[in-house]
Amino acid sequence: MTPLEFRNQKRQILSGADLSQKGSIDKPIEDLINLINSKDDFVTTSSCSGRVILYCESAVEGRKKGCKWLYTTHDLVNVEEFLSKVDSTEGDLVLKFEPMILHIQCISLEKAKSVHVCAVQSGFRNSGISVGKHHKIIVAVRSCMGLEVPLSSDGRLMVSDEYLKFLAGVANNKMIENQERTERFSTSMKLLLQ
C-alpha cells in the first residue's frame, strides 16, 4: 500500500460512523486512540477498553435467536447493580469479561512490528500482525485473560448469590489487571510515537 493509499484509507476510516453498539470510543482509552490517530502512520479501526457484560441468550426451536445485554460496564462491577440485573426469566444468562482489544492499521510492516513489541511487552501477549488484501497491515492488540460463565438455564438460576458476588470479584480483578496493562501499553505507545 502506498503512503497516499494509506492516507486516503485513514481519512475514510476517521470520517466514517462508529459502528459499535455503544457508538463511541470508550472513555478509558479515548486519549490513547486520539494519540494514535494523530500520527500519520497509524489509524485505529476498532477498539474496546475492556468490559464486563451480563447478557442473556434466547433460543427458538433449539436455534440461537439472539442476545440481550442486561448489564455492561467498562469499569469495575457495581455488585449491587449487577445482582439486581440477574433475572433468569430473561433467558440463559452469561457473565462475560472481555479485555481491551485494539486494531491499529499501520503504514508499514516496520511500524506494525514496533506497535506489536509495545503490546507484547505491556502484557498483551496474544497480539498479532495480519497482512490483508492490498497489503493492509493491522496490529491486533489483545490478551487472553477473558472470562465467560453461564449462570442460568431454562429459566433457572444455576448459581447462588454468594457465587455471583465471587464472580463479580473475579471480573473486577481481571478489569484491574486489564487497566494496568492498558496503562503500560499507553505509556509505551507515547514513547514510541514521540
- The arrangement of secondary structure in 3-193, i.e. its CATH architecture, is 2-Layer Sandwich (3.30)
Kindly give the confidence (pLDDT) of every residue in the chain, 194 residues in length, as a single tens digit, with 9 standing for 90 and above.
788 888 888 888 888 766 666 667 899 999 999 999 999 999 999 999 999 999 998 655 444 457 889 999 999 999 999 999 999 888 899 999 999 999 999 999 999 999 999 999 999 999 999 998 888 999 999 999 999 999 999 989 999 999 999 999 999 999 999 999 999 999 999 999 98
Tens-digit pLDDT profile for residues 156-192: 999 999 999 999 999 999 999 999 999 999 999 999 9
Cβ burial of 65 (10 Å; 0-12, 13-18, 19+) is exposed
Q: DSSP secondary-structure letter at 52?
A: E
Note the pLDDT of residue 133: 83
Phi then psi for residue 99, to 5 deg, are -75, 175
Model-level pTM? Answer: 0.88
CA–CA separation, 178 and 182 (whole Å): 6
The mean pLDDT of the chain is 91
CA–CA separation, 74 and 91 (whole Å): 23
Three-class DSSP category at 94: strand
Note the pLDDT of residue 59: 55
Spatial CB neighbours of 156, under 8 Å, sequence gap ≥ 6: 88
The count of residues in the chain is 194
Note the pLDDT of residue 22: 66
Write out the H or E segment, with its range, that includes residue 101: strand 101-106
